[in-house]
Amino acid sequence: MDIDGSSAVVTGAASGIGRASALALARAGARVVVADLAARRGAQVVDEIGTAGGIAVFRHCDVTRTEDLAGAFACALEHFGRFDIAFNNAGIAGEDLFEDTAGDWQRVVDVNLTAVIDATRIAVREMRRLGGGVVVNTASMGGILPIPDSPVYAATKAGVVNFTRSLAYLAPAHRVRVNAVCPSYTDTPLVRRRGDEDLADIKQRMGGILQPEDVAAGVLELVQDDSRAGAIMRVTVRGGRDYARDVRP
Catalytic sites, residue numbers: 153
Question: 39 — alpha (psi -120 to 50), left (phi > 0) or beta?
Answer: alpha
**Amino acid at site 160:** V
The 3-state DSSP composition of the chain as helix, strand, coil percent (nearest 5) reads 50, 20, 35
- What's the one-letter identity of residue 138? T
For 18-31, b where at least 16 C-beta lie within 10 A, e where not — what string?
bbbbbbbbbebebb
Type of residue at 92: I
CA angle 128, 129, 131 (to 5 degrees): 65
131 vs 125, 174, 247, CA distance in Å?
A: 10, 7, 22
Specify the DSSP element, H or E, that contains 25. helix 16-27
**Which SS3 state, helix, strand or coil, does residue 231 take?**
coil
